[in-house]
Chain A
């Protein structure tokens, strides 16, 4: 009761003063069935929201009013209203949704259904399933290019990137990359795509026009066995300067020069780092550390880890609402 009241007050405050507050980070806690809400100004958890079973991938609607949540074990995508912090709807998602990506049209949601080797495309307004596309085994990573032309899915056991034409919903090209590809990230101009391969230990850079690999990045951290270096999440700064790559159980984030593809540094964060998010001004990078159950905060200018924030059990995804 008290908590509810607190939410209501907080919601009202946000409603009234909105942009004056620091922006909020949302973290999905895979084994707690909750989201942690972090105030990025104070770096404190200000709220914990109950959601569906095994929340993993999360993303914001393009107008930043809603948060979509893959509730994997509930076989559904939940829609959270950010103003009230309540689940207001669910979307048909296919079985075991893990990651997803929203088309710039703010309507077409591409969902990787891990158990069924399918990508499901749902219209978030009408809730119609527009297409189900057969892909490789254990589809995981999903990305839509900012220009809206391509949806790319990674299939972990098949070790491929599937390039889906967003007009026809058909696969136009399949490319084999390193073992267990996990995540794809496009540059803002949609010209370059970055893809991580967890077991391969590599990041593959693609020229989007030709869909050809132009570079492969390897990682080596002193004192860490090579097979613990497992790239997963990727974040690119919009100024084209840096790429950050989460390296899983090596407990490090790699800093890569996004122009020369040279690895500049490795930053020690919490245990088993998976996903990353930059805040609005790209001053801070937030990392989810599954095993240590915390979020590390990296100062982007100084390339230093400045803080760790305790969240729920097995934090998985993180997004930051730039408008809050």
Chain B
């Protein structure tokens, strides 16, 4: 409440004291849709994701855009809907679209993103801030769909590069039962192949015991093998993976969705001015920022960066600008970020973190690319069928 008041006061002050650059004001309306399906009962239910993960990131992006906009006579509005189902998400999209909103950020599973793109016309620009599915970047291409969230392949390539760099070449892979677990594991197998890693054991997770009681008994037996350098876990929803570290047959580190993980963002990143983003978010939301928050923030800031330069709110003009050399997103990852022009993916460094610290950030030195080292992560142009810019 006091924060709101403070903001209102600051805005008022600004209106009084700032000499406007543009006489008439420009309104930019952004729709935000969020649907996170229930992940079902999990063994590890101790640390849960905040329910507003994503939404609060979009809200911070809005605040950042507004602070810039007030000097330029540009006003931003964010209409947000956090829904409980696929159908509700589509209905919310339609309602906002009917009212004239043409810029959207969506944090939902791939099938919902697909359905939204089916309804969106040519004049609508959508930012995917939730679905990591590789198919959306390789085969199911939408001209007006951009991705600020990294694909599974970008995440696993980052891990693969790091394992290669450390010469931890022999790996024990454990894959969970969900579609997302399998998608993550498929991405990792591709990365292993790309970076010369060998999967010496490839085992699906089938146990259904409660590991809080029996992890110490179950897991050593499950991870028995002659030798491996590390255990790789594919457990996207966080069911059993938390119990793998320190319970492996051999004394080896655990990486993947648990242990040391490649992520979009982490609250321990402080370099490249990131401490300021962390502080700003904490002051606003009263909690630490998550990867989902970051992806939504990056989407709203991409729109803001384009509008600052163009001074128009038209989705088509914004889309065009985002694919020019002039667009550079300053996003606290130590490099300027841009969109891949074949599939609309935001190219970005990927942090590798353990729960309390940053370990490293991909891409790593020595993994070369003719255009940008960031394109050593995920699907490069020749590997993707998408040509959304012709």
A interface residues (Cβ-Cβ under 8 A, vs B): 96, 114-115, 117, 133-134, 136-138, 156-160, 162, 170-174, 176, 178-180, 198-201, 225, 227-228, 249
The 8 Å CB contact of B19, one of A137, A172, A179, A199, is: A172
**Is A136 a contact of B67 with CB atoms below 8 Å?**
yes
Q: How far is the CB of A221 from chain B (nearest CB, A)?
A: 15
Q: List 17 A-B contacts (CB under 8 A).
A: A115-B279, A115-B280, A117-B67, A134-B14, A137-B280, A156-B273, A171-B19, A174-B18, A174-B21, A176-B308, A176-B309, A180-B273, A198-B330, A199-B330, A200-B336, A227-B372, A227-B374
A134-B13, A225-B373, A227-B336 are known contacts. Are A158 and B67 too (CB-CB below 8 A)?
A: yes
Is residue B68 contacting chain A, with contact meaning CB distance below 8 A?
yes
The 8 Å CB contact of A158, one of B18, B68, B283, is: B68
Contacts of B71 in A (CB 8 A): 136, 158, 160, 162, 174
The 8 Å CB contact of B68, one of A114, A136, A228, is: A136
Contacts of B17 in A (CB 8 A): 133-134, 170-171
Contacts of A174 in B (CB 8 A): 18-19, 21, 71-72
The 8 Å CB contact of A227, one of B10, B67, B68, B335, is: B335
Q: How far is the CB of B273 from chain A (nearest CB, A)?
A: 6
Contacts of A159 in B (CB 8 A): 68, 308, 330
Interface string of B258-295 (1 = CB under 8 A from A): 00000000000000010010011001000000000000
Contacts of A198 in B (CB 8 A): 330
What would 18 more interface pairs be, CB under 8 Å, given A115-B279, A158-B71, A174-B19?
A: A115-B276, A117-B67, A136-B68, A137-B64, A137-B67, A138-B273, A157-B330, A158-B67, A158-B68, A173-B21, A174-B21, A176-B72, A176-B308, A178-B328, A199-B328, A201-B336, A227-B335, A227-B372
Is residue B334 contacting chain A, with contact meaning CB distance below 8 A?
yes
Contacts of A156 in B (CB 8 A): 273, 276, 330
B interface residues (Cβ-Cβ under 8 A, vs A): 10, 13-14, 17-19, 21, 64, 67-68, 71-72, 273, 276, 279-280, 283, 305, 308-309, 328-330, 334-336, 372-374
Contacts of B67 in A (CB 8 A): 117, 136-137, 157-158
The tally of CB-CB contacts under 8 A between chains A and B is: 81
**Is B68 a contact of A137 with CB atoms below 8 Å?**
yes
Contacts of B64 in A (CB 8 A): 137, 157-158
Most B CB within 10 A of own CB, among A114, A137, A170, A180: A137
Contacts of A136 in B (CB 8 A): 67-68, 71
Instruction: Give the CA-CA distance A227 to B273 in the complex, in Å.
Output: 16
With CB as the reference atom, state the residue of chain A lying closest to B363.
Answer: A225
Instruction: Give the CA-CA distance A255 to B373 in the complex, in Å.
Output: 27
With CB as the reference atom, state the residue of chain B lying closest to A131.
Answer: B17
Contacts of B372 in A (CB 8 A): 225, 227
Contacts of B328 in A (CB 8 A): 178-179, 199-200
Instruction: Give the CA-CA distance A118 to B373 in the complex, in Å.
Output: 37
Contacts of A157 in B (CB 8 A): 64, 67-68, 276, 330
Contacts of B308 in A (CB 8 A): 159, 176
Closest 9 CB pairs of A and B: A158-B68, A199-B330, A227-B335, A174-B71, A179-B330, A199-B336, A180-B330, A137-B67, A179-B328
Instruction: Give the CA-CA distance A162 to B70 in the complex, in Å.
Output: 13
A134-B13, A179-B330, A249-B334 are known contacts. Are A173 and B19 too (CB-CB below 8 A)?
A: yes
Q: How far is the CB of A163 from chain B (nearest CB, A)?
A: 10
Contacts of A114 in B (CB 8 A): 276
Contacts of B18 in A (CB 8 A): 134, 171, 174
Contacts of B14 in A (CB 8 A): 134
Instruction: Give the CA-CA distance A186 to B217 in the complex, in Å.
Output: 69
Contacts of A176 in B (CB 8 A): 72, 308-309
Contacts of A179 in B (CB 8 A): 305, 328-330, 336
With CB as the reference atom, state the residue of chain A lying closest to B70.
Answer: A134
Instruction: Give the CA-CA distance A96 to B276 in the complex, in Å.
Output: 10
Contacts of B279 in A (CB 8 A): 96, 115
Instruction: Give the CA-CA distance A134 to B283 in the complex, in Å.
Output: 18
With CB as the reference atom, state the residue of chain B lying closest to A228.
Answer: B335
Contacts of A173 in B (CB 8 A): 19, 21
Contacts of A162 in B (CB 8 A): 71
Contacts of B305 in A (CB 8 A): 179
Instruction: Give the CA-CA distance A199 to B348 in the complex, in Å.
Output: 14
Contacts of B280 in A (CB 8 A): 115, 137
Q: How far is the CB of A242 from chain B (nearest CB, A)?
A: 27
Q: How far is the CB of A197 from chain B (nearest CB, A)?
A: 9
Q: How far is the CB of A291 from chain B (nearest CB, A)?
A: 9
Contacts of A117 in B (CB 8 A): 10, 67
Instruction: Give the CA-CA distance A20 to B273 in the complex, in Å.
Output: 41
Q: How far is the CB of B219 from chain A (nearest CB, A)?
A: 39
With CB as the reference atom, state the residue of chain B lying closest to A172.
Answer: B19
Q: How far is the CB of A48 from chain B (nearest CB, A)?
A: 24
Instruction: Give the CA-CA distance A150 to B10 in the complex, in Å.
Output: 23
Contacts of B330 in A (CB 8 A): 156-157, 159, 179-180, 198-199
Q: How far is the CB of A109 from chain B (nearest CB, A)?
A: 20
Instruction: Give the CA-CA distance A238 to B309 in the complex, in Å.
Output: 35
With CB as the reference atom, state the residue of chain B lying closest to A115.
Answer: B279
Contacts of B335 in A (CB 8 A): 199, 227-228
Contacts of A160 in B (CB 8 A): 68, 71
